[in-house]
Amino acid sequence: MNQLTTTAIILNRTDYGEADRILTLLTPDYGKLTLLAKGVRRVKSKLAGGIELFSVSEITFIKGRGEVGTLVSTRLAKHYKHIVGDLDRTMLGYELIKKLHKATEDEPEEGYFDLLRQAFEALDDTSVDPRLVQLWFLMQLLRLGGYMPNLETDIEGKKLSADMTYTFSFDGSAFAQHPEGVFAANHIKFLRLGFGGHSALALAHVQGVGRLVQEVQGIVTTMTTSHIRS
Amino acid sequence: MANILLIEPDTVLGRTYRQALEHAGHTVLVARGAQQAINAAEDLAPDLVVVELQLAGHNGIEFLHEFRSYGEWQSTSVIINTFIAPHLLADAEEALRRNFGVKAVLYKPRTSLQQLISAVDRHITAPDGQA
């Protein structure tokens, strides 16, 4: 049988029989993998059954005939130790893993692996506000799912202007011009960065980021509730 | 009366809690860290777990995530007894209850031994898995 090697992040684990564990892993090459880790409970090895949470590991496995393969070996490549040094970051880390696990099919594209890895990197940076990481993660999850808001033109098709104020229309997934609208050019620029290819760490350097996170949070969380499976 | 797994990193506090809970009729196993607690749970088959969130190495939340991933421990009652002030845990408390089935969150400096024993007695997992 061929042994395969890839990089992986653990999403879930559960016990199987008396001594084994079943791990669900997210990989860039094979999507989600369900692998049997044999004898983990009997030997009382590492807490995570050979793979630490909030880490990236190099794994070797054998593909099974059915859905479940067998984990052969693991090597820790990167552990995000500052996440588990802070309870709020740990809780958020679990929430992100859970959300991504539920939101994705069995064979998610490579972008989801990169998203989770980058989210761990941002959460591991104690100078970055976890609320920003959460918001950025949701924006990226929407982007990967194909649910980007229109950040170029308003609901009537007119180019968004720096001199106007807007409300947000969830039906049209776009801004609507309104003289008393609470959204302005700085919010739109921030959303463009967040929904674009920029990392959470890059967003952290935007001037007034704390306030912007609060002010656009409603748009992002409502869109997430509407479009992302939870 | 019941098997209690107590996860307490402070040796003196661990001994004090153990003596109080044993005096109340329970069997108590004390673990100082998350990994030790998982191993202890395999041996003890606890009816209830009392855990401090601030542990060296793997923290209490990591322990809970691992603990709940085993079929036989998914309905075991868990009480958090921590030095983390309530206002710092406010946002996390609901998530702890929702995600890990935590029954009660106690703030150590304001929890007497009698209050700890009462909370344990109130939430001990019944044989059918109901607390």
**A87–B66: do the CB atoms touch at under 8 Å?**
no
- CA B23 vs. chain centroid, Å, equals 18
Give the mean model confidence (pLDDT) for residues A167-182: 96
Q: Which tens digits make up the pLDDT trace of A36-73?
A: 988 776 555 544 445 678 999 999 999 877 788 999 98
For chain A, which domains are there? 3-79 (2.40.50.140), 127-227 (no CATH)
Q: What is the ipTM of this complex?
A: 0.76
* CA dist list (Å): B12 to B6, B18, B20, B35, B40: 13, 10, 12, 20, 19
Give the mean model confidence (pLDDT) for residues B36-41: 90
CB-nearest to A13 from B42, B63, B69 is: B69
First to last CA, chain B: 14
Quick check: A186 pLDDT over 90?
yes
Q: Left if phi > 0, otherwise alpha if psi is -120 to 50, otherwise beta: which for A186?
A: alpha
Q: Which chain A residues touch B58 with a CB distance below 8 Å?
A: 47, 84
For chain A, the average pLDDT equals: 90
What is the predicted pLDDT for the residue at A48? 47
Please give the Cα distance from B108 to B124 (Å, whole number): 19
Please give the Cα distance from A147 to A200 (Å, whole number): 19
**A41–B42: do the CB atoms touch at under 8 Å?**
yes
Please give the Cα distance from B82 to B104 (Å, whole number): 11
User: Domain B3-123 sits in which CATH superfamily?
Assistant: Response regulator (3.40.50.2300)
**B84–A48: do the CB atoms touch at under 8 Å?**
no
Give the mean model confidence (pLDDT) for residues A134-150: 95
- CA B16 vs. chain centroid, Å, equals 15
Q: Is the pTM of this model over 0.95?
A: no
Closest CA to A30 of A76, A1, A64, A75: A64
Q: Which of A23-32, A101-110, B63-72 is the least confident region?
A: A101-110
Report chain B's C-alpha Rg in angstroms. Answer: 13
Pairing mode of beta strands B77-82, B102-107? parallel
Q: Which tens digits make up the pLDDT trace of A86-138?
A: 888 999 999 999 999 999 876 778 899 999 999 999 999 999 999 999 999 99
Phi and psi at residue B16, to the nearest 5°: -65, -50
CB-nearest to A94 from B63, B91, B99 is: B99
Q: Which tens digits make up the pLDDT trace of A72-84?
A: 988 889 999 899 8
Spatial neighbors of B85 by CB under 8 A, at least 6 apart, are B107
Q: Which pair of tokens denotes residue A217?
A: 């949070």
Comparing A40 with B66, which gets the higher pLDDT? B66
Distance from CA of A98 to the nearest CA of B (A): 10
pLDDT category, A16, cuts 50, 70, 90?
A: confident
For chain B, the average pLDDT equals: 91
Q: Which tens digits make up the pLDDT trace of B74-117?
A: 999 999 999 999 988 877 888 899 889 999 999 999 999 999 99
Q: Which pair of tokens denotes residue A63?
A: 């593909």
What is the predicted pLDDT for the residue at B43? 87
All structural domains of chain B with their residue ranges: 3-123
Kindly state whether A24 is in contact with chain B, defined as any CB-CB distance less than 8 angstroms. no
